[in-house]
Amino acid sequence: GAGVSQSPRYKVAKRGQDVALRCDPISGHVSLFWYQQALGQGPEFLTYFQNEAQLDKSGLPSDRFFAERPEGSVSTLKIQRTQQEDSAVYLCASSSHAGAPYNEQFFGPGTRLTVL
Amino acid sequence: KQEVTQIPAALSVPEGENLVLNCSFTDSAIYNLQWFRQDPGKGLTSLLLIQSSQREQTSGRLNASLDKSSGRSTLYIAASQPGDSATYLCAVGSSNTGKLIFGQGTTLQVKP
């Protein structure tokens, strides 16, 4: 497709369940970002990949959060033992360049995660 | 630590008005600044990207300016339309990885 796609669009999980969120970036884009957006807030950075290498994971809130991009294209964000505070929209973005300063990011529609 | 603030948090205007949305940031050492639009329940649509060496960018009825020294950017919307109703987010790229630091957004309502 022409844009960034994410699946599922909506996910409801019971507290304690594991979830996996998928991101398909724009074809050929080197950089991939994950952000978390709580209700009424701006997105907050979680992690960054340059091709298959995870170069920055400083925004991951706990060791229950894990992300991978094994072949440098599709990425998966996994949350283990979900908690209610994990409820948010998870946004994926990609960029054709590696790093700043030419880094216009294109965002997917997001996955809305609700933890009951 | 870079912090981004957007004022006002919400704005309601009649159709046809020209308006300005404000964004401020605490650390002037930035690579770029990007303005996005977000419709309810949707992802982010990129509106304008300003590199640190630039002063402004224009796209149609939108004009964004950047003043690094004062830590400010403005998004100017000319002749507002009801279809412009959305949340507008400002984001600063101040890391060499390209990660963005976002403000909390300004929710705009344009009344017919």
pLDDT in tens, A23-66: 999 999 999 999 999 998 999 999 999 999 999 999 999 999 99
How does the average pLDDT of chain A come out, rounded?
94
Q: What is the pLDDT of residue A100?
A: 62
- CB contacts of A43 in chain B (<8 Å) are 44, 89, 91, 100, 102
Provide the pLDDT confidence category of residue B22 given band limits of 50, 70 and 90: very high
Compute the average pLDDT of residues B74-97: 94
Q: What is the pLDDT of residue A1?
A: 53
Q: What is the pLDDT of residue A15?
A: 97
How does the average pLDDT of chain B come out, rounded?
94
Cross-strand pairs, A23: A6, A75
Q: What is the pLDDT of residue B62?
A: 97
Residue contacts between A and B (CB atoms, under 8 Å): 82
Structure tokens that stand for A72 in this block:
């440098």
Spatial distance between the Cα atoms of A97 and B35, rounded to a whole number of angstroms: 18
In 3D space, the residue among B89, B79, B81, B88 whose CA is nearest the CA of residue B108 turns out to be B88
Spatial distance between the Cα atoms of A103 and A61, rounded to a whole number of angstroms: 24
Query: For the segment A68-97, what is each residue's pLDDT rounded down to a tens digit?
Result: 999 999 999 999 999 999 999 999 999 998
Nearest-by-CA chain B residue for A10? B41
Whether A97 sits inside 8 A of B45 (CB atoms) is no
